[in-house]
Structure 1
Amino acid sequence: MVLLESQVKLKAGDIAPDFELLGIDDKRHSLNNYSNYKGILIIFMCNHCPYVKAKADALNELYEKFGKDIAIIGINSNDSTNYPEDSFDAMKETAKEKGFGFDYLIDETQEIARKYGAMCTPDPFLFNAQKQLVFHGRIDNAMKPDDTATEKTMINNIQKLLDGEKIENDFDPSIGCSIKWKEN
């Protein structure tokens, strides 16, 4: 298991790269589908990573708290040939098992992860209603799977976004497993 920290490719103010990806609802989703929200949270994630598994409750909490105002989108970019537990069918099972209410999409070509500069799972990106990046980084301060969060970084930042306040620290790296890239 390779541990990575998120890296900066998109900078604060940059516009979210568009995508059209298949969701576990068997429908295609593009960034424009989420234009009616006050913000968009895109989380590069997968099924098998212990760092993502440890954040399942935090992801559900984000969705329950903000899902009406903030579009929450999980994107799995892992190579499912070498990591079958990250296959499309396994995504459906994981979402059902974990009770995910947010859209969970597959990035089979890995092109979207590359456009965003996603490196690890989870790797969250928070955008405002104009699709400008306002925060890239961790969900909370529990940096190992068995740590307990004492600061809910993403909840605080989403609240600031909704309240029209500036997010001072626009990059606070997430830590997780590396995205499993396909061999070229």
Structure 2
Amino acid sequence: MGFSYLNNNNWANITREERVFCSDLFHTIQGNEKKFIRWLKNKEWLDNKKLIFIDVELEEEWEIAYEVCFYRDYFSVIKNMGVGSSDFSPKRTFDLCLFSEKRIIIIEAKVQQPFEYRDIIKYTNDKTAIQRLIGTGVEVELVALASSIYFINHKRFGKQSTLSAFDGLLAWKELYEYFGNKRFDLADKMYNT
């Protein structure tokens, strides 16, 4: 029904906050990580970017994590110390991460706005920093999650370097089509509103 002061909408139908939609995605994937990884392996990736999975990875343990404050938690729990270097921001948080024994897939999401070039520099630095911290036995990859409208517009008018740091491009619309969750369709339509 909604509320009169929100033009008869519920807040869930007007928010453009990416954390809300990422939380929805986290709860949708949680407990079904292997099924999601299989879908990622077989999906048609946007702009010819693609994450490549070998079959054995489909049976490994995977964990989805939300609002991952990687450096802070890694240093405080794994290394038993506070963040000891200015190279690692204790406040840096990733929207979603998929963890396995040999891979970390960082998913950075946008709903209403585009990715900025300064984001790309940050993401590239993170990929290198995490690799340096955990060693070469684990592959670190970045996936951009945004509106299909953004990706279409970017392909027509954008600078290719803006998405160059990403190993894969994923649209909210694709998640809606796969999961059937109307919230992901709403996220896809929120771009530039």
TM band (smaller chain): 0.3 to 0.5
By percentage of residues, which structure has more helix? 2
Q: Which has the higher contact order (CA 8 A, sep 6+)?
A: 1
The structure having more radius of gyration, on CA atoms, is 2
| Structure-1-length-normalised TM-score | 0.41
